[in-house]
Amino acid sequence: MLTILALAQKDLRILIRYKSGLFFTLIWPLLVAVMFGTIFSGESGQRAKIKVAIVDEDATTESGRFAARLEKSGEFEAVRANQDQGISLVRRARLTAVILIAKGFGEASGRLFYGTPPQVEVWIDPSRKAEAGMLQGLLQKHAAARMQSLLSDRANSRTMIARALKEIDAAPASGDKAVLGRFLGELDRFLAAPSDNPANAEMGSWQPLEVVEKAVARGTAGPAPRSSFEITFPQGILWGIIGCIMTFGIGIVTERTLGTMTRLQMSPSSRFQLLAGKALACFTALVVLQSGMFLIGRWIFHVRPQSWILVMMAAFSSAAAFVGIMMLVSVLGKTEQAAAGAGWAIMMPIAMLGGGMLPLFFMPSWMAAASHFSPAKWAILAMEGAIWRGFSLREMLLPCGILIVVGITCFLAGTRAFQRNLT
């Protein structure tokens, strides 16, 4: 045991002296967690506005009002332009989209419940599909707000209804015509009724849908993170784990290329002791890394695990899994460069599939299914379970058990390949 401790102590001492390794093991994951946590929480400043050009081809009072509403909303960084100028700016990636208020917008706005609706064209940068969806939603929101505003004005509403009834009367006879005529007539009578009618009084504030945004607070039923850092710290820790095992894996290759492994082989230590010493050093570094990240998260970023016992379960099982993977990385190449290249080539998809880069729900279904084979997914799930998912001890057994099985399997495979390399 003393030999194993000596080997582990030596490797940890070398890790501390190896500045770039230390950076990617301890500092980089913290930066990742803090950076993404800050972005997700919106604490880095105002949410980014969508840059658009507004083209008012209709040039009516209604289209002008709608354009002004968009400009004042605070959701857009808008410039006025003609169609060609706007499209040119989008093509040059200066703007995300052109919102073109088409001819006939004002006239169509005067129609209620019939005829062609007011039309807006959106010319979008095809590389920014995510913002296109958001833009459509915002335009629908402002259209609904415009509708609400029109209906809130009784006199204006009644004028619109009178105009509509006149146009319907002039239209050819049909079943819809009679129904729409009756509906608008009833609506006109409703609007003409005294305003002390309680139902009538509420009409001014009527909306098609009211969205109430509520922050999830501690103690809320169901799983929910209490801060965006509770989501990003497990991801940051995962990157720290990957950095750490790459450092140790490549360190073993370095021992072979520099010849120190030869001296170790020729010492009275058994191969089991040599490998156990390496594994212990890596395991210790991973546990210290995770503990340090959790403590920094707790003290500075208000990451408040629901159970420190579960946190330790997650940390130990993740460490076990990735120590095994470290042993595999160490046999991937005969030189440091080869091992590093092959190691990152394997670790990047593991991290990506596991949700270390993108949340799993962004992925296509087959990739989400493939994530079950990524130890990174189970490591993040175990950490989330301990921090905010509210896992019970029993629920923790699945991710932790999978991680330990992965660790043992990879360690045995890596050890076997390592021993074959030595002989």
Partner 1 sequence: MLKFTDVWKSYGDTKAVAGITLEIRRGEIFGLLGPNGAGKSTAVHLAVGALIPDRGTVAIGEHGDPSLPDVRARIGIAPQAISLYESLTAEENLTFFGRLYRLHGVQLREKIDAALRFVALIDRRRDQVKTYSGGMKRRLNLAAAVLHEPELILLDEPSVGVDPQSRNLIFENILHLREQGRTVVYTTHYMEEAQRLCDRVGIMDFGKLLAVGSVSELLTQQGGKTALVVTTDGTEIRMETDDPLGELNRLAAVAPVADFRLERSTLEQVFLNLTGRKLRD
Q: Which residues bind partner 1 (CB under 8 A)?
A: 2-3, 6-7, 9-10, 13-14, 17-18, 258-260, 262-270, 423
Nearer to partner 1, 44 or 262 (CB): 262
Provide the minimum distance between the beta carbon of 260 and partner 1 in the complex, in angstroms, as a whole number. 5
Provide the minimum distance between the beta carbon of 20 and partner 1 in the complex, in angstroms, as a whole number. 12
Q: How many residues does the chain have?
A: 423
Report how far residue 225's alpha carbon sits from residue 218's, in angstroms, rounded to the nearest whole number. 9
Q: Which two tokens stand for residue 216?
A: 């999830």
Nearer to partner 1, 80 or 263 (CB): 263
Class of residue 18 by CB neighbours under 10 A (exposed 0-12, middle 13-18, buried 19+): middle
Q: Which two tokens stand for residue 214?
A: 């509520």
Provide the minimum distance between the beta carbon of 302 and partner 1 in the complex, in angstroms, as a whole number. 37
Report how far residue 51's alpha carbon sits from residue 365's, in angstroms, rounded to the nearest whole number. 32
Q: Which two tokens stand for residue 103?
A: 């001819």
Provide the minimum distance between the beta carbon of 236 and partner 1 in the complex, in angstroms, as a whole number. 27
Q: How far is CA 63 from CA 66, 135, 161, 304, 344, in A?
A: 5, 18, 20, 51, 55
Q: Residue written as tokens 């570094």?
A: 285
Closest CA to 3 of 278, 206, 356, 388: 278
The kind and range of the H/E element at 389 are none
Nearer to partner 1, 228 or 330 (CB): 330
Nearer to partner 1, 17 or 394 (CB): 17
Q: How far is CA 213 from CA 1, 83, 210, 216, 293, in A?
A: 58, 36, 10, 10, 31
CA angle 82, 88, 90 (to 5 degrees): 105
Nearer to partner 1, 129 or 263 (CB): 263
Provide the minimum distance between the beta carbon of 422 and partner 1 in the complex, in angstroms, as a whole number. 8
Task: Tell me which DSSP letter residue 203 carries.
Answer: G
Nearer to partner 1, 113 or 272 (CB): 272
Phi, psi of 53 (to 5 degrees): -105, 135
Q: Note whether 195 and 345 are within 8 A (CB).
A: no
Q: Note whether 93 and 82 are within 8 A (CB).
A: no
Nearer to partner 1, 261 or 321 (CB): 261
Provide the minimum distance between the beta carbon of 275 and partner 1 in the complex, in angstroms, as a whole number. 14
Report how far residue 230's alpha carbon sits from residue 253's, in angstroms, rounded to the nearest whole number. 36
Provide the minimum distance between the beta carbon of 5 and partner 1 in the complex, in angstroms, as a whole number. 8
Nearer to partner 1, 7 or 120 (CB): 7
Provide the minimum distance between the beta carbon of 261 and partner 1 in the complex, in angstroms, as a whole number. 8
Provide the minimum distance between the beta carbon of 322 and partner 1 in the complex, in angstroms, as a whole number. 23
Nearer to partner 1, 27 or 258 (CB): 258
